[in-house]
Amino acid sequence: MDSTKLSLAVAFALFVLLSSADATAKSLCCIDRVFTFGDSMTDAGNACQVQGGNCGVIPYGETYFHKPNGRWCDGRLIVDFIAQAYGLPLPPPSMAGNTREYFLNGANFAYAGSMALNISTYKKVTGLDRAGPDHSLGIQLQSFKDLLPVISQGSSVSAVMTNSLFIVGEIGGVDYIGGLVSNKPTEEMKSWTPSVVAAIGSAVNDLINLGATTLIVPGNFAIGCAPWFLTLLKSNNSGDYDSQTGCLKKLNELAVYHNTMLTQELAKQRLLHPLANIVYADYYGAQTQLILTSKLRDIPAPLYACCGAPGQPYNFSLNMQCGSKGSQVCPDPTKYISWDGNHLTEAANNVIANGILYGPYAIPPLV
């Protein structure tokens, strides 16, 4: 067996091990609550509750909840699987409750469409306008701070912070999406990265100063593999695509650039806070490995959306998105990585979560 086939076989064996691990059956130690922040890859229903959208219609939620649940997925998110691995219930959307009992096991402060940068800073850094209310990372963190007196009733802020897991992201992808839909060159967008990463680092620093001791900070996904951008930025130049994955190289290079700077920022935070456990979650690595081993996992079209526009390239069209009139859903979402062209299926989320929890995609390892 040549080295390429051997490497692929080893990778597949590792992925079978990770994906067969039942995140609900194993329980990590000593976490009472899970609090999460981020965008639509993490949002458990905040945006759906406030502004509606396709997240509130069938087939969203069909796999696990058997009805729409506010998540931009057919079922559970990566953060849901992580919470279950700690023996905790799924973190509920923060905007749906205001009592101590509601936040007893944590909450999800993520909001679909959120950026790491606030709207005013985004305008200064990018020159782009951003409409709508600001639910950026700093706003989400302030919401958590405002609720902390309620959350800590009957205990103490110190006890809550020390015994909780904080998942800060994924966040930052939307900051770049604004540039991509505005046809900004990726090289120009790389100049935004220091500001985007600094906003994430600031949130991590603030949480630790509040008393947080355990944090997971994910990097960006492989945005060049999303059916949405494969459709929007379609190229006739075969050299623009990665020969192994079929993904757009420049977009993934932007994600890698962001993730590299983020790991450097987290290294600085570890020096500032040596007693805190700051874990980098390599969503990009876990996702691309899933794509590379897709054929061995019986996923025939790893870059196609499960739910979307039938007959269209990558099964995606902005004019016929999942849940809208004329869209169709695949019969078996476990055979797909992308759910709706932008978000992942529950099956893909499960594999990535297990790679973070028990595999090589957490730095340093969680277990």
Q: How confident is the model at residue 137 (pLDDT cuts 50, 70, 90)?
A: very high
Residue 20 pLDDT: 39
Q: H helices of the chain, where?
A: 3-20, 46-51, 78-85, 119-126, 137-151, 157-162, 173-181, 186-190, 193-210, 227-232, 249-272, 283-292, 346-357
Q: Is the pLDDT of residue 31 over 90?
A: yes
pLDDT at position 14 over 50: no
- Going across the sheet that includes 362-363, the strands are 106-108, 33-37, 164-168, 214-218, 277-281, 362-363
Q: What pLDDT is stored for residue 225 in this prediction?
A: 98
Q: What average pLDDT does this structure show over 74-82?
A: 98
What pLDDT does 29 receive? Answer: 78
Which tokens in the block code for residue 117? 């940068």
pLDDT exceeds 80 at position 13: no
DSSP string, 200-232: HHHHHHHHHHHT--EEEEE----GGG-HHHHHH
Return the active site residues: 40, 340, 343
> Between vectors from CA 123 to CA 112 and to CA 107, what angle results, nearest 5°?
25
Q: Return the DSSP state at 241.
A: B
98-135 tens-digit pLDDT: 999 999 999 999 999 999 999 999 999 999 999 889 99
- Whether omega before 346 lies within 30 degrees of 0, making that bond cis, reads no
Q: How confident is the model at residue 367 (pLDDT cuts 50, 70, 90)?
A: confident
Closest to 217 (Cα-Cα) out of 168, 177, 256: 168
Share of the chain above pLDDT 90, in %: 90
Q: What is the pLDDT of residue 359?
A: 87
Long-range Cβ contacts of 26-32 (<8 Å, 24+ apart): 26/85, 26/357, 26/358, 27/85, 27/86, 27/87, 28/85, 28/86, 28/357, 28/366, 28/367, 30/163, 31/86, 31/88, 31/163, 31/164, 31/165, 31/214, 32/88, 32/105, 32/163, 32/164
In angstroms, how far is the first alpha carbon of the chain from the final one?
Answer: 33
Q: Give the pLDDT confidence of 175-198 residue by residue, as tens digits.
A: 999 999 999 999 999 999 999 999
pLDDT tier at 24 (50, 70, 90 boundaries)?
very low
pLDDT at 343 over 70: yes
* C-beta separation of 223 from 252 below 8 A: yes
Q: Which of 92, 85, 109 is nearest to 30 (CA)?
A: 85
pLDDT of residue 350: 98
> In the numeric block, which tokens belong to residue 358?
């028990």
For 279, the enclosing helix (H) or strand (E) is strand 277-281
Using 50, 70 and 90 to split pLDDT, how confident is the model at 61?
very high
> How do residues 319-339 score in pLDDT, each as one tens digit?
999 999 999 999 999 999 999
Where does the pLDDT of residue 30 fall: very low under 50, low under 70, confident under 90, or very high at 90 and above? Answer: confident
pLDDT at 16: 41
CA-to-CA distance for 210 and 162, rounded, in angstroms? 9
What is the average pLDDT score of the chain? 93
- Work out the percent of the chain whose per-residue pLDDT is above 70: 92
Is pLDDT above 60 for 19? no
* Mean pLDDT value across residues 147-165: 96
Q: Cα separation of 161 and 165, whole Å?
A: 8
User: What would the pLDDT profile of 227-275 be if each residue is shown by its tens digit?
Assistant: 999 999 999 999 999 999 999 999 999 999 999 999 999 999 999 999 9
pLDDT per position as a tens digit, 281-309:
999 999 999 999 999 999 999 999 999 99
